Chains A and B, each alone.
Chain A
Amino acid sequence: MRSIRQRLLITLLSIIALVGIVTLARSYLDARHEVQELFDAQLAQSARVLQSLVFHEIAEGDLGPESEDDLERPRRRQLRKRLEREESRLDEHHGHGYELKVAFQVWRADGQLLMHSISTPEQPLAPEVFDRTNYRGGFADATIGGDHWRVFSLWDADHRFLIQVGERHDVRDELTTKISRRLVTPSVISLPILGLLIWFGIGGGLAPLRKVAAEVTRRAPTYLEPVDVGPVPREVRPLVDNLNDLFARLASAFERERRFTADAAHELRTPLSALKTQAQVALRASNDAERRAALEQLLAGVDRASHLIDQLLTLARLEPGTHPIQRQSLQLRPIAIDVLSELGGKAVAKDLNLELTGEADPTIAGEPVSLSMLVRNLVDNAIRYTPKGGSIAVAIDEDEEGGTVHLTVTDTGPGIEPALRERVFDPFYRGLGSGTPGCGLGLAIVRQIAELHDARVELDDNPAGSGLRVRVSFPRPQRAASGE
């Protein structure tokens, strides 16, 4: 795509040129018309002047219609001389180039040329006026000897003679050409100047944008401070504001990411430390039983580190914005049954009473894999923290109004103090460290999955006594018909 500058320049110059051409064309036509009018008027006026001159001569009998004889020749010559003098006098006095080309003829009604100016041909300037039965005057265009003439004919009905005054068109053309040239020249010269001015003008106008761009270009990818380019025009302000908003969001996302990575790295150090220590203990063991015990601990440690890594990956994959989940209509109960059958062995081994209660099986919009992860983390936590012989109940039900679907996991473990119920969702926070080999990510994962499903997670006391109740409330899909 072309630059804004080029585009604006081309557009503006095209518009200016177009408007200029239209204006010039209009002015040219106007000027030509006016020149025509003016010259025609002059031509007519010349004819009238000539008429009065000729009429005077005729009245004196110099040019009587029937006086075409030898006697009258000297008078005619005299008249011609006067006219010629007049002609040359006019030339000298006005000395105007355009006037030179005016010619005239005086015709008798019988078609005899009474007189004419020096440079005038002897045939009628405008022959068509003679074709008419009664001579009538007016303007006509004629071509004589390759030249174009404008002719005005004036018929003196009283004295029955015709005056024709002609003028070559090139005079007019020359004038109109000159006028139009004067009109066009400044425009042609001014167009590039205008272009240059527009170029710099647009450049100046775009300067704030360039400043913002330069400011952004200069940045290292990790430098996310707000762009500060001082006051910017109203048009650029939204760009700067939105950029700064984006930078702020990126900075907080980076910071969150950085903190999470640092936490994760630190969290991995303890399991690694445990592995190393157990390995060294095994190496130094003085008997097989001691060595065996250490190696078993080492294996348990490897399992635990793998679990931590799995949980970290799960959480990373659930990071909002990385993978928009594909929701579908589904029932929670089959998912819960899957998870409980998988974890049931662990519960039985700890002598825990694990059960799934309720009959309802409402439909929600969700993504089955992540929901299964949510249930697994909740039940796994409950199994970890509930002491031997306790019980864990998983329930699925919906509101009376049918607006919300609840998944509830209730245990008889130690519960969580109200003051800590918000903190336990933080990654790596462990409410009860001692003896429970969790990695502190379970509830963070639960909350993340819940948020992806627009669900709420609430922690409460077990209403039946000591223990924790975790309730995840899913919004019931409004329009979703089952099987959608």
Chain B
Amino acid sequence: MRVLLVEDDPILGQGLKVGLGQAGYTVDWLEDGASADTALQDETFDLVVLDLGLPRMPGLDVLSQLRRRGNEVPVLILTARDAVGDRVAGLDAGADDYLVKPFDLDELTARLRALQRRHAGRPDPLLEHGEIVLDPAARRVTLRGEPVNLSQSEFSLLQVLLENAGRVLPRTRLEETLYGWDGEAESNSLEVFIHHLRKKLGADLIRTVRGVGYVIERPTS
């Protein structure tokens, strides 16, 4: 899961980057509104965590620009202001959820999971595909009820493919999901992870679309 974090406070930003990383997210961190605006135009993120008090461009402006461009990425805003008016303004500008500082890291990750789920249009917090069940909160995968041991990268890859079941995800998108801007993806590491997933969960689960990327077919149930 690739998250864009926009937070100008260096200590909080650094903490969130590490904390969300611990929760399995790939985090790209920007410290001002204008850079965030540019990044959101150029790249694809699964989630956005946006602080409202930002230098160079207010968070609300970043948000309304984003929505004006028709981008539907789930956005959670962080705000120090807890007056109803401030929260309403954030939601009206297109935010999907908000958290008032100081917040709990667990609550933040739980809300991010809920946003993802709603965005994918499934009420069930568990991702199910045939005999495979993926629990995003517990970061656990079972096959026919038996736990499957996956690395963090393998888990993230499986999650994004399951959430976008039926859609072919380009290699670059998958690489960004795994590494963000920090990662030095080795040219064939994505193939290695896909290979591991096929070995653990079944060879026909993930299909390759040559020259484009990978896809998990929508279950025909």
A: residues with CB less than 8 A from B are 266-267, 269-278, 280-281, 284-286, 290, 293-294, 297, 300-301, 304, 430-435, 437
| Complex alpha-carbon distance, A300 and B14, angstroms | 12
Known contacts A277-B16, A297-B15; A434/B8 CB under 8 A? yes
Within 8 Å by CB of A277, from B15, B31, B53, B81, lies B15
27 residue pairs of the A-B complex, CB under 8 angstroms, read A266-B81, A269-B100, A269-B101, A270-B9, A270-B53, A271-B11, A271-B12, A274-B9, A275-B102, A276-B103, A276-B105, A277-B16, A277-B19, A277-B102, A277-B105, A278-B14, A281-B18, A281-B22, A284-B105, A286-B22, A297-B14, A297-B15, A300-B11, A432-B55, A433-B31, A434-B31, A437-B11
Q: Which residues of A contact B18 (CB under 8 A)?
A: 281, 290, 293-294
A268: nearest residue on chain B (CB-CB)? B80
Within 8 Å by CB of B104, from A267, A269, A280, A300, lies A280
Question: Is B91 in the interface zone, CB < 8 Å from A?
Answer: no
Within 8 Å by CB of B15, from A267, A286, A294, A434, lies A294
Question: Is B96 in the interface zone, CB < 8 Å from A?
Answer: no
B86: nearest residue on chain A (CB-CB)? A266
| Complex alpha-carbon distance, A171 and B6, angstroms | 117
Q: Which residues of A contact B85 (CB under 8 A)?
A: none
Interface string of B9-43 (1 = CB under 8 A from A): 11110111011001000000001100000000000
| Complex alpha-carbon distance, A8 and B221, angstroms | 101
B66 CB → nearest A CB, Å:
20
Contact A278 B15 (CB under 8 A): yes
Q: Which residues of A contact B54 (CB under 8 A)?
A: 433
Contact A276 B10 (CB under 8 A): no
A290: nearest residue on chain B (CB-CB)? B18
Within 8 Å by CB of B55, from A272, A301, A304, A434, lies A434
B: residues with CB less than 8 A from A are 8-12, 14-16, 18-19, 22, 31-32, 53-56, 78, 80-81, 100-106
A286: nearest residue on chain B (CB-CB)? B22
| Complex alpha-carbon distance, A301 and B11, angstroms | 6
Q: Which residues of B contact A430 (CB under 8 A)?
A: 55
B30: nearest residue on chain A (CB-CB)? A434
Within 8 Å by CB of A273, from B10, B22, B81, B101, lies B101
A436 CB → nearest B CB, Å:
8
| Complex alpha-carbon distance, A281 and B14, angstroms | 10
| Complex alpha-carbon distance, A272 and B102, angstroms | 6
Contact A281 B19 (CB under 8 A): yes
In addition to A278-B14, A284-B19, A284-B22, 10 A-B residue pairs with Cβ atoms within 8 Å of each other are A270-B80, A274-B15, A280-B15, A280-B19, A280-B105, A280-B106, A297-B15, A433-B31, A433-B54, A437-B11
Within 8 Å by CB of B103, from A271, A273, A431, lies A273
Contact A285 B15 (CB under 8 A): no
| Complex alpha-carbon distance, A435 and B22, angstroms | 23
Contact B32 A433 (CB under 8 A): yes
Contact B19 A437 (CB under 8 A): no
Q: Which residues of A contact B12 (CB under 8 A)?
A: 270-271, 273-274, 277
Q: Which residues of A contact B19 (CB under 8 A)?
A: 277, 280-281, 284
Can you list the 5 inter-chain pairs with the closest CB atoms, starting with the nearest? A433-B55, A274-B12, A277-B15, A273-B102, A273-B101
| Complex alpha-carbon distance, A290 and B18, angstroms | 9
| Complex alpha-carbon distance, A274 and B102, angstroms | 8
- Majority SS at the chain A contact face: helix
Contact A285 B32 (CB under 8 A): no
A270: nearest residue on chain B (CB-CB)? B9
Q: Which residues of A contact B56 (CB under 8 A)?
A: 433-434
Q: Which residues of A contact B78 (CB under 8 A)?
A: 273
A265 CB → nearest B CB, Å:
8
Contact A278 B11 (CB under 8 A): yes
Q: Which residues of B contact A281 (CB under 8 A)?
A: 15, 18-19, 22, 105
| Complex alpha-carbon distance, A300 and B13, angstroms | 13
| Complex alpha-carbon distance, A278 and B22, angstroms | 12
Contact B80 A266 (CB under 8 A): yes
A149 CB → nearest B CB, Å:
105
Known contacts A280-B19, A281-B19, A290-B18; A274/B11 CB under 8 A? yes
Q: Which residues of A contact B8 (CB under 8 A)?
A: 433-434
A286 CB → nearest B CB, Å:
8
Contact A304 B102 (CB under 8 A): no
B12: nearest residue on chain A (CB-CB)? A274
Contact A434 B32 (CB under 8 A): yes
| Complex alpha-carbon distance, A432 and B101, angstroms | 21
| Complex alpha-carbon distance, A433 and B59, angstroms | 13
A419 CB → nearest B CB, Å:
13
A246 CB → nearest B CB, Å:
30
B32 CB → nearest A CB, Å:
5
| Complex alpha-carbon distance, A213 and B206, angstroms | 84
Within 8 Å by CB of A285, from B14, B22, B102, B105, lies B22
| Complex alpha-carbon distance, A93 and B94, angstroms | 122
B101 CB → nearest A CB, Å:
4
Contact B22 A269 (CB under 8 A): no
Contact B102 A437 (CB under 8 A): no
| Complex alpha-carbon distance, A276 and B19, angstroms | 11
| Complex alpha-carbon distance, A293 and B16, angstroms | 13
B55 CB → nearest A CB, Å:
3
Residue among B10, B55, B81, B104 with max Cβ neighbours from chain A (10 Å): B10
Contact B31 A435 (CB under 8 A): yes
Contact B10 A437 (CB under 8 A): yes
| Complex alpha-carbon distance, A15 and B10, angstroms | 82
| Complex alpha-carbon distance, A73 and B89, angstroms | 139
| Complex alpha-carbon distance, A300 and B12, angstroms | 11
A299: nearest residue on chain B (CB-CB)? B11
| Complex alpha-carbon distance, A279 and B56, angstroms | 29
B182 CB → nearest A CB, Å:
15
| Complex alpha-carbon distance, A431 and B8, angstroms | 12
| Complex alpha-carbon distance, A269 and B101, angstroms | 6
| Complex alpha-carbon distance, A334 and B87, angstroms | 50
Q: Which residues of B contact A294 (CB under 8 A)?
A: 15, 18
| Complex alpha-carbon distance, A220 and B173, angstroms | 62
Contact A270 B10 (CB under 8 A): no
Q: Which residues of B contact A293 (CB under 8 A)?
A: 18
Contact B14 A270 (CB under 8 A): no
| Complex alpha-carbon distance, A475 and B60, angstroms | 44
Known contacts A273-B103, A433-B32; A297/B22 CB under 8 A? no
| Complex alpha-carbon distance, A163 and B6, angstroms | 135
| Complex alpha-carbon distance, A191 and B49, angstroms | 87
